[in-house]
Amino acid sequence: MNDLLLRACRREPVERPPVWMMRQAGRYLPEYRAVRERADFLTMVRTPELAVEVTLQPVDLLGVDAAIIFSDILVVPQAMGMELTVEEGVGPRFHRPLRAAADFDRLADIDPERELRYVLDAVRLARRELRGRVPIIGFAGGPWTLMSYMVEGQGSKAFTQAKRLLVEAPDRAHALLGRLARAVGTFLAAQAAAGAQVLQVFDSWAAALGPRDFREFALPYLAEAVGLARASGVPVIAFAPGAGWALEELADATGAHVVGVDWQTDAGDARRRLGGRDVALQGNLDPAWLYAAPDEIAARTRAMLDAFGGRGHIANLGHGIHPDVPVAHARAFIDAVKAWRPA
Amino acid sequence: MNDLLLRACRREPVERPPVWMMRQAGRYLPEYRAVRERADFLTMVRTPELAVEVTLQPVDLLGVDAAIIFSDILVVPQAMGMELTVEEGVGPRFHRPLRAAADFDRLADIDPERELRYVLDAVRLARRELRGRVPIIGFAGGPWTLMSYMVEGQGSKAFTQAKRLLVEAPDRAHALLGRLARAVGTFLAAQAAAGAQVLQVFDSWAAALGPRDFREFALPYLAEAVGLARASGVPVIAFAPGAGWALEELADATGAHVVGVDWQTDAGDARRRLGGRDVALQGNLDPAWLYAAPDEIAARTRAMLDAFGGRGHIANLGHGIHPDVPVAHARAFIDAVKAWRPA
């Protein structure tokens, strides 16, 4: 059993850092695209056999040290009753975004074993099929990120609808964020119960909030979700890309075992800033650097590993892998981590 | 003559901070929309009478302490030979983005008094029509931001084409960035010669770069442009939104008189970090906070002013004003600054 990831999450000694990539089960793999030709994105997410097939691909093809269940952060709002579509080139969309107060009232509370059973079944199947080769990671979106999608209806540059809600109807925002924190937390705990050995929360739109709003509308709910997830006993990774300024607060407020570091943050700075805390770090190679030649990728990967220093570090990209990266380049990254040893 | 802005740029004593808003000549004003109905965006930019009409609107209607010439950062690449269109709801687009080496070679070097004469004429006319009421600000885009638009063809979420260029053909990127730094710097100096009393450089896509790339591909060229602008003798404001981590480097490397602070950065932190330097700060109210009720806007504005502390501060938003903000809310922001006094 390759338990590098589990040991790194707990800052135990490791021969070398474990490595995986956000969006590693994704379009850059021809084998993924082959599955994707037979089924649309949401069908893949909702069909455990298909989800597990692509979940295992990067383990088999690239030798990463962890699998992450193939799914999407928007399954939670969908389970609460919002109609979701994912179109090629357009991305995920809610066709009736939350606008009036009544839209918020219509949302249902969820029982993960009922509405999100297909994710839990996929986790169970993946755990079985992996046979201990590498750990399986479960995940969910952060409450603020989910709410901003639910209000905007889709990805946005400035998130003005969602931010407008924060100043125009803060009580309504807080009420929904509280519901989302509990939904996300129980969903994560259910994934752990189904066999997930590590959990990650992606607060992907943290960058849309300045410090005051982040502290009021993102951090407390992220902390509540992480707290519920922690109670399951497995390590939790908290990732708030674009809010590199908040790494210390993220660690302190959430109590996560691991804090994700985005590619915009200097790896050495992150380590210095969090060095005194009992928290591991994950990240943070710029995914655009995978466009470089393989030997250049290896050199930049080694520099990143040197900066993090080995122990208590999970090697990863600082954001999801881009879909047009050559597989050989992803492999150059993985292999460079595997060849590296701490000084 | 209201010279608050000029004094604040040089950190001289002021009764209160000057205030203006990025994109203050914009769609949130009904009077702007009335002009816009008669002419499309680029016609307004290229017709000094129209550009000056909207440039003066916020001075007349809101009583801001500065006018900024109505224009667009993409006039520089356009002057270098790139075909630009601006469609409603789509935004600016270059229809033949730079891809092959030959695309780069085709670009022309510019003489601002020839290819960008219409901007300089607008500056001259605005200066005349303002009759000293408030200073007129000239501006340009940062070299990295212009190059990323030229390579992408339009705004982008991840700027993968532009960032791909940085690792695949760094020499080609450096050559273009050098040309852009000189074009931007001479254009800024020409605006000062035409009467602009303050100059601002917007490196709007700084957030697309991690620290290593920012230091290699953005900062040196921004510094070169600011250096050429400084030689004109007027104060220069450098703004790199989304790169709040780099405020110190921005101040030190560019020698700008003023550093812009985005809304993602805590105002008090910015002041503490730059307190020991001879540099003024500009910013940084979250433009989404202008959706709040006017008395709430006033309270948040006062808190922001308290955090910056008065002297050496230019009150502004931390990004351009959103087009759907009520004019009364913009006025609440302006008036709160005007009523504030340092402790």
Q: What is the DSSP string of B109-141?
A: P--HHHHTHHHHHHHHHHHHHHTTSS-EEEEEE
Q: Is residue B36 annotated as part of the catalytic site, yes or no?
A: yes
Among A291, A268, A271, smallest CA distance to A280 is for A271
**Domains in chain B, number:** 1
* Domain containing residue A27: 4-339
Which chain A residue's Cα is nearest to B297? A167
Contacts of A318 in chain B (CB under 8 A): 210
Assigned token pair, A102: 């009544």
pLDDT score, position A157: 83
Residue A198: give its domain's CATH number.
3.20.20.210
Q: Is residue B105 annotated as part of the catalytic site, yes or no?
A: no
Q: Is the pLDDT of residue A89 over 80?
A: no
Among the partner residues A157, A245, A266, nearest to B244 by beta-carbon distance: A245
Residues 6+ apart with CB under 8 A from B276: none
What angle is formed at CA A237 by the lines to CA A174 and CA B208, rounded to 5 degrees?
A: 80
Among A221, A240, A87, smallest CA distance to A154 is for A87
What angle is formed at CA A181 by the lines to CA A180 and CA A184, rounded to 5 degrees?
A: 80
Q: What is the DSSP string of A16-42?
A: S--B--TT-SSTTSHHHHHHHHHS-HH
Cα–Cα distance, A316 to A320 (Å, whole number): 9
Residues of chain B with pLDDT under 50: none
Contacts of A319 in chain B (CB under 8 A): 158
Cα–Cα distance, B290 to B271 (Å, whole number): 23
Q: What percent of chain A has pLDDT over 70?
A: 100
Residues 6+ apart with CB under 8 A from A44: A35, A36, A50, A51, A54, A70
What angle is formed at CA A92 by the lines to CA A166 and CA A164, rounded to 5 degrees?
A: 15
Assigned token pair, A217: 């509308």
Check: CB of residue A25 under 8 Å from CB of residue A54. Answer: yes
Judge if ipTM > 0.90: yes
Average pLDDT over residues A59-64: 98
Q: For residue range A139-192, what is the model confidence (pLDDT) as tens digits?
A: 999 999 999 999 999 988 889 999 999 999 999 999 999 999 999 999 999 999
Among the partner residues A168, A263, A292, nearest to B210 by beta-carbon distance: A263
Q: What is chain A's mean pLDDT, rounded?
A: 97
Check: CB of residue A246 under 8 Å from CB of residue A214. Answer: yes
Cα–Cα distance, A79 to A341 (Å, whole number): 44
Check: CB of residue A238 under 8 Å from CB of residue A258. Answer: yes
pLDDT score, position A213: 98
Q: What share of chain A is helix, strand, coil (3-state, %, to 5)?
A: 55, 10, 35
Q: For residue range A190-232, what is the model confidence (pLDDT) as tens digits?
A: 999 999 999 999 999 999 999 999 999 999 999 999 999 999 9
Identified catalytic residue from A149, A221, A300, A335 = A149
Cα–Cα distance, B207 to A157 (Å, whole number): 13
Cα–Cα distance, A314 to B340 (Å, whole number): 49
Strands (E), A181-226: 198-202
Cβ distance B245 to A263 less than 8 Å, yes or no, reads: no
User: For the CA atoms of A64, A66, A71, A74, what is the dihedral angle to 10 degrees?
Assistant: -110
How many Cβ atoms from other residues are within 10 Å of residue A58's Cβ? 28
Residue B90 at interface with chain A, using a CB cutoff of 8 Å: no
Contacts of B210 in chain A (CB under 8 A): 263-266, 286, 318
Contacts of B213 in chain A (CB under 8 A): 286
pLDDT score, position B89: 77
Cα–Cα distance, A213 to B60 (Å, whole number): 33
CA B45 remoteness from chain centre = 15
At A242, is the pLDDT very low, low, confident or very high (cuts 50, 70, 90)?
A: very high
Q: Is the pLDDT of residue A343 over 90?
A: no
